[in-house]
Amino acid sequence: MLARHAESRVRETYLEPLVAGRIRICYAMAEADVPGTDPFLTRTRADREADGSWRITGRKWFTSGAASADLVTVLARTGGAPGNREGLSLILVPTDSPGFRIVRELPVLGAAGQYEIELGGVNVPGDHLIGEEGEVLTLGRTLRSLRWLGQAQRAFDLMCERAATRSGSRGPLADHQLVQQHVFDALLALRTTRPLVPEAVALPAWAGRRLRERLRRRAAARGRASRPGARRCRRASAARPPAWRPPRRRPGRKGRPRRPGWAAEGLSSGRR
Ligand SMILES: Cc1cc2nc3c(=O)[nH]c(=O)nc-3n(C[C@H](O)[C@H](O)[C@H](O)COP(=O)(O)OP(=O)(O)OC[C@H]3O[C@@H](n4cnc5c(N)ncnc54)[C@H](O)[C@@H]3O)c2cc1C
């Protein structure tokens, strides 16, 4: 996100140490008393000062890793009022800025690592705004996707390591067919999700607006289709027998249904 949408000075300062793991970043969107699933209600404000810098005021909570982070990406309102769909921006805030404070740690089902933070009139340079002012909610979503993808990859690596090193009386876990199936399914999910993220990043804000407009039109068309006349038509067609049915699977040995693609996945144990 920084590589694509940050100003050059910000990229030069933060990107390389972030990628190298020398500094850490966290993401602050959720706020107390505001549903986290509806960020349009965000109350934290960022106001432009006369010198072009941003003054940020608000409280966030459930910010994962805030206590050990050097930077926090804050979702703040640079225009409009809570509830408006426009006017939300992402701003980078160094955690050593005066006015930034960790209020408390919030345990979640016994797990630590989430914090409530206060932004008490924190001042950051004007170029710390990421992307276009008021148009960047989509970037926040992308950041979440990237973080979860990274977590999933990490979990996958740990799973493979464990499967290779944990052994029972019948050999390592990795030799069991079901474990191989789990590994395959997880890898497939990772590989198919990864290409979608750069695609989402590449979607400019106007494409997001066009997408929303198309979804709105489709929802309106669905609404028309669910009127009483259309419902009667659907009921009549549902009563008709289907024109084509898939052929019934021939049972395999011992009456078990055959599993398509088993051999193709290279997972056959050779015992069957
Ligand atoms: C472990 C953990 C780590 C977190 N880390 C971060 C972080 O790093 N940064 C950050 O900003 N936030 C973080 N959060 C907060 C997270 O973003 C919010 O919890 C999340 O956005 C959901 O918001 P909420 O808890 O306010 O739920 P609510 O918005 O109150 O939703 C409650 C429930 O209602 C459902 N719901 C809401 N609207 C609808 C609807 N229209 N239709 C049907 N169902 C609906 C939701 O699915 C949910 O199940 C973290 C949370 C947890 C638990």
Ligand 1 mutation target, pool 27, 33, 59, 62, most atoms within 8 A of CB = 62
Domain range for residue 163? 144-217
226 in any annotated domain: no
254 in any annotated domain: no
CA distances from 82 to 3, 10, 39, 116, 207 (A): 30, 28, 9, 20, 24
Please indicate, yes or no, whether residues 44 and 101 belong to a single structural domain of this protein: yes
> How high is the pLDDT of residue 38?
87
Please indicate, yes or no, whether residues 75 and 122 belong to a single structural domain of this protein: yes
- Residue where a domain terminates, one of 82, 108, 134: 134
> How high is the pLDDT of residue 152?
93
> How high is the pLDDT of residue 250?
56
Pocket lining for ligand 1, CB < 6 angstroms: 26-30, 35-37, 62-64, 108, 114
Question: Partners of 105 in the beta sheet?
Answer: 115
Q: How many residues does the chain have?
A: 272
262 in any annotated domain: no
In the reported structure, the alpha carbon of residue 228 is separated from the centroid of ligand 1 by a whole-number distance in angstroms of 36
In the reported structure, the alpha carbon of residue 25 is separated from the centroid of ligand 1 by a whole-number distance in angstroms of 20
- Residue where a domain terminates, one of 112, 134, 156: 134
Question: Partners of 48 in the beta sheet?
Answer: 54
In the reported structure, the alpha carbon of residue 38 is separated from the centroid of ligand 1 by a whole-number distance in angstroms of 8
Burial class, 106, CB count within 10 angstroms (exposed 0-12 / middle 13-18 / buried 19+): middle
Closest ligand 1 atom number to CA of residue 38? 29
Residue nearest to atom 42 of ligand 1 (CA): 37
68 in any annotated domain: yes
User: Where does the chain have alpha helices with state H?
Assistant: 2-5, 8-10, 16-19, 137-165, 177-193, 196-202, 205-225, 228-239
> How high is the pLDDT of residue 107?
84
Residue nearest to atom 12 of ligand 1 (CA): 30
Q: Tens digits of per-residue pLDDT, 91-149?
A: 999 999 999 999 999 988 888 899 999 999 999 999 999 988 886 656 656 777 777 88
Residue 103: alpha-carbon gap to chain centroid: 26
Please indicate, yes or no, whether residues 108 and 148 belong to a single structural domain of this protein: no
Classify 199 as helix, strand or coil.
Answer: helix
CA gyration radius, the chain: 25
Please indicate, yes or no, whether residues 82 and 19 belong to a single structural domain of this protein: yes
In the reported structure, the alpha carbon of residue 34 is separated from the centroid of ligand 1 by a whole-number distance in angstroms of 10
Please indicate, yes or no, whether residues 164 and 102 belong to a single structural domain of this protein: no
In the reported structure, the alpha carbon of residue 62 is separated from the centroid of ligand 1 by a whole-number distance in angstroms of 10
> How high is the pLDDT of residue 237?
45
44 in any annotated domain: yes
What residues of the chain score a pLDDT lower than 70? 135-141, 200-212, 215, 224-272
Q: In angstroms, rounded to a whole number, what is the distance separating the alpha carbons of residues 125 and 129?
A: 8
Please indicate, yes or no, whether residues 175 and 108 belong to a single structural domain of this protein: no
pLDDT exceeding 70 applies to what percent of the chain?
73
Residue nearest to atom 35 of ligand 1 (CA): 37
**Tally of domains within the chain:** 2
103 in any annotated domain: yes
> How high is the pLDDT of residue 267?
38
